Structure 1
Amino acid sequence: MAAENIDDVVDGLAGIVREAGRARDRVGYFAALYRQVTVEVRAAIHGGLFDDGARMDRFDTHFGNRYFDAYDAWRRDRSGPRCWREAFGLLDDADTVIVQHLLLGVNAHINLDLAIAAARTSPGEAIHALRRDFLLINDILARVVLVVQDSVGALSPLLSLLDQVGARTDERILDFSVRQSREEAWHNAVLLAGQNEEEREAAIERLDIRAAVLARLTARPGGLVRPALQLVRSTESDDVPAVITHLDNAMERPSARQGTV
């Protein structure tokens, strides 16, 4: 699928969420989170919160198409970027906990796709004018991620065990930091925006390799985290459609509207 505007991105994600629910496919976990991010970004565009709403529509469309391309490549022949293959490759793994599925998707989309979408939207020197809006979209992303993370607690009663072994504190879960990755994404966007095609391809390859390494650390952590994850998984819901619905409604709950996470 290919989106032409942010409305297409929202519709495409909603379609993946619906189909995942019918098929009991865990791909719907991250798609539900991402749909809510996109809805929030669209509301911010319509509300005039960005310096350039039309530019942010293009930005979000490029960003969404990165996900759709990876999703389609995986469905077609198990190809696509390394970090997305790591994420999609665990969808049938019954031992992977809900929060891992979410973070694997967030890792690939932030550590690879976000910088690419920004550089494509504002190449060359134009990238610097994007900074304020880029930071604002990052704030929206972080807010939704935290709300959805918090809502996972209702589905994963022993999730607090990860805090006790130091794997889940604030924005940090396992070996993946949302905040740090958002900061690095801007640096990488500026880098990509100033490169020629050959340099850009090499840089994107390096970003993909790094994101794939982070994905493996998130998927298969060591130390005390591993047995803690096993306990967490033993109490989680196995009703995939219900989990998808719960995650897809996270931003509609009173706590989310009040900004409480």
Structure 2
Amino acid sequence: MPQKEQLTVRRPAPVDSDAAQVVARMRALDSHWPATDGVAVFNRVYLTVMEEIGRRIAAGEFPDRRAALTLDVLFARRYLAAVEASETGARPPACWRPLFQYRRHPGVRTTQFALAGINAHIGHDLALAVVDSCRALECAPADLENEFDRVGDILTLMEERIREDLMPGPDLLEIADPLTHLVGAWSLDRARDGAWSAARLLWGVRELPGLAEEFTERLDAGVGLVGRCLLTPWR
């Protein structure tokens, strides 16, 4: 049986027009979906971060502009591919399925939708995007570590924005509120560390496609399980 090509196809590195197309697609989705849609909640936060990364790349804050642009675009395309799969009736990766399934559930809070999207995107997509980028740039993960860290620092803004804009105020968020414990149990830093380790592992077994495919499937399923927990309805 022929091996799948998900991790072995080499594609050209993205350029500025590719980044512009990604942002334009996310803006179109934002205008199309209702504001209360769970995927729209994540999309709005992510769009803000994409625009910020674009401004910083243009300002020369990334020493290797080409590497930063490549990682940024290939990372975002993973999310957009999941959206396209959902909209065309195909099956998105397991990590994204809970968010698409619960996107209109009245018992799921806005913060949960945003965190579930971040969990899927960082816990699963980021590792594969690093591998995609290495293939496009013909380099190893270690050559992208600075860009990975800088993009990760900006992604931290996404979590901070969620906590500032989407969490209830101190008078509403009591220590006994289950959402307090749910949000506190998930860590962006741990997810980033896990993504970097997964990327290095996948790169290390790139000549063993069967093993790489098995690990990718298990990573996808594990991140999906966490996402389902993050989307536990409260009413």
TM exceeds 0.5?
yes
Say yes or no: does 1:198 pair with 2:219: no
- Could you tell me which of 18, 27, 31 is aligned with 2:31? 18
Counterpart for residue 147 of structure 1? 161
Instruction: Kindly provide the amino acid, as one letter, of the partner of residue 117 in structure 2.
Output: G
Q: Is the contact between residue 111 and residue 162 of structure 2 (CA under 8 Å) also seen in structure 1?
A: no
CA distance in 2, matches of 1:125, 1:105: 29
- TM-score by length of structure 1 reads 0.75
Counterpart for residue 127 of structure 1? 141
CA distance in 2, matches of 1:179, 1:51: 23
Displacement of 1:187 in angstroms is: 0.9
**Secondary structure in 2 matching 1:187:** helix
Counterpart for residue 66 of structure 1? 78
- Could you tell me which of 182, 187, 211 is aligned with 1:177? 187
CA distance in 2, matches of 1:5, 1:158: 44
**Secondary structure in 1 matching 2:224:** helix
Counterpart for residue 6 of structure 2? none
- Could you tell me which of 75, 83, 87 is aligned with 2:87? 75
Displacement of 1:165 in angstroms is: 4.8
Q: Is the contact between residue 38 and residue 102 of structure 2 (CA under 8 Å) also seen in structure 1?
A: no
Q: Is the contact between residue 174 and residue 218 of structure 1 (CA under 8 Å) also seen in structure 2?
A: no
RMSD: 2.4
Equivalent residue pairs, number: 216
Q: Is the contact between residue 45 and residue 161 of structure 2 (CA under 8 Å) also seen in structure 1?
A: no
Deviations 1:153-208 (A, max 9, x none): 46x786523x4457537xx7154221110111111111112222333222211110
Instruction: Kindly provide the amino acid, as one letter, of the partner of residue 15 in structure 1.
Output: A
Say yes or no: does 1:214 pair with 2:226: yes
Say yes or no: does 1:189 pair with 2:183: no
CA distance in 1, matches of 2:172, 2:148: 31
**Secondary structure in 1 matching 2:106:** coil
Q: Is the contact between residue 63 and residue 117 of structure 1 (CA under 8 Å) also seen in structure 2?
A: yes
Displacement of 1:131 in angstroms is: 0.6
**Structure 1 pair 164–179 and aligned structure 2 pair: CA distance change class (3 A):** farther
CA distance in 2, matches of 1:111, 1:217: 14
Instruction: Kindly provide the amino acid, as one letter, of the partner of residue 12 in structure 1.
Output: R
Unmatched 5+ stretches in structure 2: 1-13
CA distance in 1, matches of 2:38, 2:177: 26
Q: Is the contact between residue 5 and residue 57 of structure 1 (CA under 8 Å) also seen in structure 2?
A: no
Q: Is the contact between residue 78 and residue 85 of structure 1 (CA under 8 Å) also seen in structure 2?
A: no
CA distance in 2, matches of 1:136, 1:159: 34
Q: Is the contact between residue 30 and residue 101 of structure 1 (CA under 8 Å) also seen in structure 2?
A: yes
Q: Is the contact between residue 112 and residue 211 of structure 1 (CA under 8 Å) also seen in structure 2?
A: yes
Counterpart for residue 48 of structure 2? 36
**Structure 1 pair 127–121 and aligned structure 2 pair: CA distance change class (3 A):** same
Displacement of 1:14 in angstroms is: 0.7
**Secondary structure in 1 matching 2:95:** helix
**Structure 1 pair 87–118 and aligned structure 2 pair: CA distance change class (3 A):** same
Displacement of 1:64 in angstroms is: 1.1
CA distance in 2, matches of 1:206, 1:143: 28
- Could you tell me which of 149, 152, 161 is aligned with 1:138? 152
CA distance in 2, matches of 1:142, 1:117: 18
CA distance in 1, matches of 2:77, 2:20: 12
